[in-house]
Structure 1
Amino acid sequence: MGDIDSTSFKGLTPVYRRGSFDQLHRWERRFIGYAVDGGLHLAFALVVWLGFAIALPDADLWWRFEVAVAGYALVSYAHRVLFQRRTGTTIGKALVGMSVVSEDTGARPSLLDLNLQWFIGATAVGAYMAYRLHELI
């Protein structure tokens, strides 16, 4: 099945497949995988931002920002929960030979586990963004 890491998050454990990325340390594989996933989500949010700006050029800057954040959240959820549930990995994790399994069974994570993981991450990012925006205002 692969080499199971000792660190886990809410019962989910990363599994590192053997292959061309064996020369990379685990933290490097994680960083690259998460960076690719985050980059995909940000690219989608940018496309949504630009599409909204072209469709409604008179829209307020905050409306564009809110639409981009909603687009980011939508693609993040679809990719990190629905896609990962179906395939067992995300695009970024697959590129570095990594997947996530349930700590208890070694099978793909349940939809409940993935939803919980996504919600906790989205809440943390949302709280950080709110804090930073509050400092700007």
Structure 2
Amino acid sequence: MGPRSVVALAIDVVLHTGIALAAALYVEIATTGSSAIAFLLTYVVTSLLHRIVVQRVTATTIGKALTGLQYIRTDTGGPPKVGSLILAWFAIAYGSLGTIPS
């Protein structure tokens, strides 16, 4: 992963985290639900939608767009397949588990 890819991923993570924090704050203030569950669910759903659905349609995420990157298929030059986006999402999610302190 090159430097622009790392920056793009960091931008996307900050975006997903911000949306999830807003949802958790709403749950904390306006309801009696668990803000931790709201944060986790919102983060996962936001990340999945952004990194799979948006990237499938536009071939880029907000982070990639801001750093001048796109996810283009090498065989056709077209947008990525949903399956490859799902695999990439799980690979990043799994790789992120190693950064969580125990």
Structure 1 residue 30 corresponds to structure 2 residue 5: yes
- Indicate the RMSD between aligned Cα atoms, in angstroms: 2.0
Amino acid at match of 1:68: F
What TM-score do you get using the length of structure 2 for normalisation? Answer: 0.85
**Bigger Rg over Cα:** 1
**Count of residues paired in the alignment:** 102
| Aligned mates of 2:86, 2:47 — CA distance in 1 | 11
- Structure 2: which amino acid aligns with 1:55? A
Alignment match of 1:76 (pick from 47, 51, 54): 47
Deviation at 1:64, TM superposition (A): 1.6
Rounded Cα–Cα distance in structure 1 between residues aligned with 2:7 and 2:56:
21
Match of 1:44 in 2: 19
Q: Aligned partners of 2:95, 2:5: CA distance in 1, in Å?
A: 19
What CA deviation, in whole Å up to 9, does each residue of 1:48-98 have, x standing for no partner? 110110122x54xxx321220110000000000000000010111111111
Larger helix fraction of residues: 2
Gaps of 5+ in 1: 1-6, 8-25
More strand by share: 1
- 3-state SS in 2 of match to 1:98: coil
Structure number with greater CO (CA < 8 Å, separation at least 6) is 1
Alignment of 1:100-115 (within 5 A): 100-115=71-86
Q: In the TM superposition, what are the counterparts of 1:11-26 in structure 2 within 5 Å? A: none
- Report % sequence identity: 33
Separation in 2 of the partners of 1:34 and 1:76?
11
